[in-house]
């Protein structure tokens, strides 16, 4: 297997033949604290694809956590899934044991394909897990992620179209899993006309019946005639080809690593499509995870940080205009400044 060159602190590949578990744990940076980032359970073409995904996702977590004002570095894990095979209790416990062996360098939680019940099984073997939802605190991070995306979308729409409300706008949501579903709920309540797609027809049916959404084929969702595209499935959906076909003016969604490559951010800018950098707008979930992990029981701590997502985006949009560069460039440079200072610091005048 060819391991891509990377600048991560640790890359762990593990296999357990007894349970049939294979996983990758990538720790990008512990500069601001232990590396926190969810665990993804997905079917990959091969181990190399899983390693590449883990490396990219872990790096994104470093920027996300630095900007979200939480004392954590960036890491991520992926479990190589097999089609139609849910993880067993034995596998989740083995995975928990591997995390424990890292002695706190990495903290896991839910991501694509993982649920609170999985985290509770992982927690039987490690202390370094969050998203457990014990004693009514924390748990599934998706509603917090969706809330941050919703607030960020309102900010992006205001900046792009000069309107303060989403009422009457058309939004296309790609992916109706934990975050996509919660986001549709918020958008429907705000009077948005929804167009939705998911590979899973049951999820589409649920959103169509609950929120009066219109559905379309998965391969057509990005080309819908809408004001906003919300990618809430997997990464890499914004390519030179897909951006050329967008008719939306705003891209604001939860999916990690939406840009297939960094240059796509410039293409978006050239087409005057306002892109809300994914690791800024989707930080609500990790904020909830951090709150739970740090043993807090203070809803205002979470609310203040999720509120900060919209103001941070607003600052990034303005800077991008002033500096005539992409929103991604501004966000990355802000994150790097924070990393260079070695601490989470508030922006001047921004939460
Ligand atoms: P999930 O597993 O609950 O849902 C993902 C959904 O996307 C599934 O329903 C799947 O069928 C669908 N999907 C996959 N490929 C698709 C495609 N090509 N077209 C249409 N649908 C497709 O995952 P989630 O927790 O909702 O996370 C969604 C995205 O948001 C992921 O990229 C994740 O990394 C990111 N994210 C999630 C959180 C969180 O709190 N869960 C936080 C930050 C970022």
For residue range 295-312, what is the model confidence (pLDDT) as tens digits?
999 999 999 999 999 999
Average pLDDT over the chain, rounded to an integer: 95
Produce one character per residue of 161-185: b if its CB has 16 or more CB atoms within 10 Å, e if not.
Answer: eeeeebeebbbbbbbbbbbbbbbbb
Contact between 159 and 322 under an 8 Å Cβ cutoff? The reply is: no
Confidence category of residue 84, pLDDT binned at 50, 70, 90: confident
340 C-alpha to center of ligand 1: Å?
A: 31
pLDDT digit string, tens, across residues 310-322: 999 999 999 999 9
Residue among 36, 150, 179, 236 whose CB has most ligand 1 atoms within 8 A, to mutate: 179
Helical H segments across the chain, by residue range: 47-67, 89-101, 116-122, 142-161, 178-189, 201-211, 240-244, 264-270, 278-281, 284-293, 299-323, 327-341
pLDDT beyond 50 at 348: no
* pLDDT tens-digit map of 137-186: 999 999 999 999 999 999 999 999 999 999 999 999 999 999 999 999 99
Domains parsed from the chain with CATH numbers: 10-129 (3.40.50.10860), 142-283+313-338 (3.40.50.720)
Confidence at 343, pLDDT banded by 50, 70, 90? low
Please give all residues whose beta carbon lies within 6 A of any atom in ligand 1, as ranges.
110-113, 141-142, 145, 174-180, 197-200, 203, 218, 232-234, 254-256, 282, 285
pTM given for the model: 0.95
pLDDT of residue 2: 77
Q: What is the mean pLDDT of residues 103-107?
A: 97
119, 185, 268 from 191: Cα distances, Å: 35, 10, 27
* pLDDT score of 1: 76
């Amino acid at each position: 297997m060819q391991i891509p060159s990377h600048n991560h602190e640790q890359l762990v590949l593990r296999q357990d033949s007894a349970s049939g578990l294979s996983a990758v744990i990538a720790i990008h940076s512990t500069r601001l604290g232990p590396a926190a980032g969810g665990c993804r359970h997905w079917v990959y073409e091969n181990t190399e694809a899983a390693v590449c995904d883990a490396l990219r996702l872990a790096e994104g977590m470093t920027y996300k956590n630095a900007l979200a004002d939480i004392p954590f570095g960036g890491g991520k894990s992926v479990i190589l899934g097999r089609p139609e095979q849910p993880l067993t209790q034995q596998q989740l416990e083995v995975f928990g044991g591997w995390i424990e062996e890292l002695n706190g360098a990495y903290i896991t939680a839910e991501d694509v394909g993982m649920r609170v019940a999985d985290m509770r099984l992982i927690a039987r073997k490690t202390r370094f897990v969050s998203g457990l939802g014990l004693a009514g605190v924390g748990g599934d991070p998706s509603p917090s992620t969706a809330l941050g995306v919703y607030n960020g979308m309102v900010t992006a729409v205001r900046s792009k179209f000069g309107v303060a409300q989403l009422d009457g706008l058309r939004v296309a949501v790609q992916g109706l899993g934990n975050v996509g579903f919660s986001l549709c709920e918020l958008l429907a309540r705000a009077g948005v006309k929804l167009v939705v797609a998911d590979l899973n027809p049951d999820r589409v049916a649920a959103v169509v019946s609950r929120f009066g959404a219109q559905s379309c084929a998965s391969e057509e969702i990005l080309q819908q005639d809408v004001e906003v595209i919300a990618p809430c499935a997997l990464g890499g959906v914004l390519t030179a080809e897909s951006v050329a076909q967008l008719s939306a003016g705003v891209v604001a969604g939860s999916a990690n690593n939406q840009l297939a490559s960094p240059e796509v951010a410039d293409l978006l800018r050239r087409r005057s499509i306002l892109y809300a950098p994914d690791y800024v707008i989707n930080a609500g979930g990790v904020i909830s995870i951090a709150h739970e992990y740090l043993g807090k029981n203070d809803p205002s701590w979470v609310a203040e940080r999720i509120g900060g997502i919209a103001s941070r985006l607003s600052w990034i949009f303005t800077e991008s205009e002033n500096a005539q560069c992409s929103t991604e460039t501004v966000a990355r440079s802000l994150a790097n400044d924070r990393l260079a200072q070695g601490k989470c610091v508030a922006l001047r005048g921004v939460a």
